[in-house]
Amino acid sequence: MTQQFADRMYSVKRSFIREILKVVDDPSIISFAGGLPNPKSFPVEEVTAATIKVMKESGESAMQYSTTEGYLPLREYIARRYAKYGIKADAGEILITTGSQQGLDLIGKIFLNKGDTVAVERPTYLAAIQSFGMYEPRFVDVPLMGDGVDVEALRQVLESGPKLFYSVPSFQNPTGITYSHEKRKQAADAFKDCDAVFIEDNPYGDIRFMGEDLPPMRRYMGSGVITMGTFSKTISPGMRLGWLYAPSEIMDKLITAKQAADLHTSYFVQRVVYQYLADNDVEGHIKKIQSMYKVQRDAMVHAIERYFPAGVEYTKPEGGMFLWVILPEGLSSTKLFDMAIQDKVAFVPGEAFFIDGSGRNTLRLNYSSSDEARIEAGIRRLAKAINTLLEESKNDIIDIRW
Amino acid sequence: MTQQFADRMYSVKRSFIREILKVVDDPSIISFAGGLPNPKSFPVEEVTAATIKVMKESGESAMQYSTTEGYLPLREYIARRYAKYGIKADAGEILITTGSQQGLDLIGKIFLNKGDTVAVERPTYLAAIQSFGMYEPRFVDVPLMGDGVDVEALRQVLESGPKLFYSVPSFQNPTGITYSHEKRKQAADAFKDCDAVFIEDNPYGDIRFMGEDLPPMRRYMGSGVITMGTFSKTISPGMRLGWLYAPSEIMDKLITAKQAADLHTSYFVQRVVYQYLADNDVEGHIKKIQSMYKVQRDAMVHAIERYFPAGVEYTKPEGGMFLWVILPEGLSSTKLFDMAIQDKVAFVPGEAFFIDGSGRNTLRLNYSSSDEARIEAGIRRLAKAINTLLEESKNDIIDIRW
């Protein structure tokens, strides 16, 4: 017998990153490839204590089925937390999801017909491409500049009538770039009189370790925006706990889609995480993560400054977990990967983050999952590989001239 | 601004059951409406102990991202457990899902193009309709008989080339009906030389409290079948932990879809549940649930025998959580619902389980979430409402004659 799969399955590839992660499972490899938070930041003891408390006080309830929307006190907590940005969120506008990734799937599901247009940043988070890709849209991209999206290009793209614009305005994955206050205002302005929905993915917003904290796009836009959030970077990704913050007319459809997708997110996890949040100094905990990542980010930036050859450009993120490197035109980061892995250092070739296979001279480096010593050693090895690649490319040119 | 949602969102309704569950939230109502396991069966203390152990021994790992496929020892445990039915499952054929419901969504996603045909039982589990419905298929149904599907009707439907046949062969939701050994063989035979995939949803298989245990369809079919399983009925539904057991060529696509859907199921939950399974007498625990539900099932069957008027038919399930009632032709279970709720007893009108709005004289009763006294009282009240409805319908006939 022959299985006939849906058309969508022939256009979607598995995540290149997750395939790479399998290659670099070897602990002797210094990996800048993953997107893993530093496990030292996980509040293991506090979450254990929260579990014991929940199970003692309401174990049977925590193990039972619950509502699709999610645990109300948890949604109220999330809603309240937006107040620091001057945003009045209502718990009814918050839907608990099984990680942020599920948020992407639900958004794709409620908005996208086959052939609809989705605009993304250039480069963009590739799991978004993967999730939205399941609904067979057409992708277009809008270039990123150092201070956020190219607004003129965004305006042009919006004129072509996309359903969604997907963006990571703070400490973007993969580039580490953050929209400035001015860019946020301009981007919001571009969405006036426009039916496209701004999808604001904000997994790293809390992990700002320098510069001025900026409000989410919701603050600039009012409506027409869905904000995605997660506890993956502040508590634990293994919990798979995220949320969508959306206007009520959109929320209604999201709940219907969520119900069909998995009924509800683990209620046990929701109860445990809420108990953790209620009983601990969460803001203090987040500050610790910020300090930890700042040390790691500084170690990487300093090692790059010290070891990378001239002509290699890179971003200096003010938060988040990633840094972006642009090699001189003509060099291939895939080739660099093959060389670097011989010397036991890994990263993600940037090509994976472009919808058209361009960006061949770019790469993404993660600093949150390696300590200072390994970052220093890894960047040194990577620099060596870049130098070798540069030498080879010069020889190529000589060969051609010859 | 006006949101344009995807076409699929205009064809899918929210679960009628979940809407009913909101109505019957009042604890003074005796509810046979839900599909809730008895919370007394939840191993609260054992799961707490398992959490403490996991967090102590490998807390950082349990809170980190993990693989899409799921925790290997858990998948191995699940695979091993099929051996008692003479099925040699490999852990590579098991994918951990966020509850069984996600299994439905993933199956819909990898198989269904808009307009493809999905065959279901008549009546069927309505959350399957909801999940598959998101991919805009055409539904056809195959009648259920007392000992399983009508095989002749199934053969005819298979000739029309459906992509999937969705079935709950053991203690079906909503009817409580179980395919006999003979029916399983015949159904498997009907799938020979046929490209349709048999989707075997088996959430209740372990909850058999009388009769002979029968192997899953996988045993009868070899390939061409995806078996869905869950810990929702044996450990806890609030955990949201299920699995798909599928041949490797299908598994490959399922993993791709799962990755896009939520990266992976809560790893914390997977580790905790595996620890619980490893450290406890699970088979003994399941036997306790069987005994508990048998008492509740018997209480309901006996109360029905005692109180229901002649002409009302009902199933006598050998396992699971539901029993099915057929009122005399012409009586409306929706009308009965309105009457019964006044007397503080609730159930699900059967209409919700038919793809064409028929079955108006049927209803589903859940016995697993009420104790014997409440079952007795609830069935007595329900009988009173049925008698009133019967009286009224006689008067209607008299009126018409008049």
B221-236, pLDDT tens digit by residue? 978 999 999 999 999 9
pLDDT average, residue stretch B296-318: 98
Interface check A195 vs B, CB under 8 A: yes
CA angle A352/A357/A359 to nearest 5° reads: 75
Across the interface, whether the CB atoms of B263 and A51 are under 8 A apart is answered: no
Q: How far apart are CA B156 and CA B153, in angstroms?
A: 5
How would residue B18 be classed by pLDDT, with cut points 50, 70 and 90? low
How would residue B375 be classed by pLDDT, with cut points 50, 70 and 90? very high
Q: How far apart are CA B80 and CA B78, in angstroms?
A: 5
pLDDT average, residue stretch B383-395: 93
Cα Rg of chain B, angstroms: 22
Q: How far apart are CA A254 and CA A68, in angstroms?
A: 10
Interface check B282 vs A, CB under 8 A: no
On whether the CB atoms of residues B2 and A195 are closer than 8 A, the answer is yes
Q: Tell me which residue of A65, A241, A64 sits closest to B18, measured CA to CA.
A: A65
**pLDDT of amino acid A34:** 87
pLDDT average, residue stretch B44-64: 98
- What residues in B contact A95, CB-CB < 8 Å? none
Residue with tokens 């396992």: B319
Q: Tell me which residue of B118, B92, B87, B318 sits closest to B217, measured CA to CA.
A: B87
- What residues in A contact B102, CB-CB < 8 Å? 261-262
Interface contacts A/B by beta carbons within 8 Å: 258
Q: How far apart are CA B97 and CA A263, in angstroms?
A: 12
Interface check B293 vs A, CB under 8 A: no
**pLDDT of amino acid A402:** 45
Q: Which amino acid is at B303?
A: A
How would residue B400 be classed by pLDDT, with cut points 50, 70 and 90? low
Residues 298-357 on A with a CB inside 8 Å of B are none
Mutate to test the interface with A, among B65, B111, B274 (most CBs of A within 10 A): B65
**pLDDT of amino acid B398:** 58
Percent of chain B past pLDDT 70, that is, above it, reads 94
**pLDDT of amino acid A181:** 98
Q: Closest residue of B to A38, CA-based?
A: B64
- What letter does residue A304 receive in the DSSP assignment? H
Interface check A109 vs B, CB under 8 A: yes
**pLDDT of amino acid A10:** 85
Q: How far apart are CA A376 and CA A350, in angstroms?
A: 21
**pLDDT of amino acid A397:** 60
On whether the CB atoms of residues A245 and A93 are closer than 8 A, the answer is yes
Q: Closest residue of B to A22, CA-based?
A: B67
Q: Which long-range contacts (CB under 8 A, 24 or more apart) does B128-133 make?
A: B128/B104, B128/B166, B128/B201, B129/B355, B130/A259, B130/A260, B130/B12, B130/B13, B130/B15, B131/A260, B131/A261, B131/B101, B131/B104, B131/B105, B132/B104, B132/B107, B132/B108, B132/B164, B132/B166, B133/A260, B133/B8, B133/B11, B133/B12
Nearest beta carbon to residue A5 from set B9, B99, B253: B253
**pLDDT of amino acid A394:** 83
**pLDDT of amino acid A12:** 65
Q: At what angle do helices B267-279 and B44-62 cross, to 10 degrees?
A: 130
- What residues in A contact B109, CB-CB < 8 Å? 6, 8, 134
Interface check B255 vs A, CB under 8 A: yes
Interface check A101 vs B, CB under 8 A: yes
- What residues in B contact A131, CB-CB < 8 Å? 260-261
Phi and psi, residue B371, nearest 5°? -85, 175
pTM for the full model?
0.95
Element (H, E) at B271: helix B267-279
pLDDT in tens, B326-342: 999 999 999 999 999 99
pLDDT average, residue stretch B167-184: 98
Note the residue count of chain B.
Answer: 402
- What residues in B contact A221, CB-CB < 8 Å? none
Residues near A284 by beta carbon (within 8 Å), at least 6 away in sequence: none
Interface check B24 vs A, CB under 8 A: no
Task: Output the six-digit token pair for A382.
Answer: 């990577």
Across the interface, whether the CB atoms of A51 and B56 are under 8 A apart is answered: no
Rounded to a whole number, what is the distance in Å from the CA of A36 to chain B's nearest CA? 7
Residues 156-175 on A with a CB inside 8 Å of B are 163
Name the stretches of chain A with pLDDT < 50.
401-402
pLDDT in tens, B130-175: 999 999 999 999 999 999 999 999 999 999 999 999 999 999 999 9
Cα Rg of chain A, angstroms: 22
Beta-strand runs (E) in B48-104: 94-97
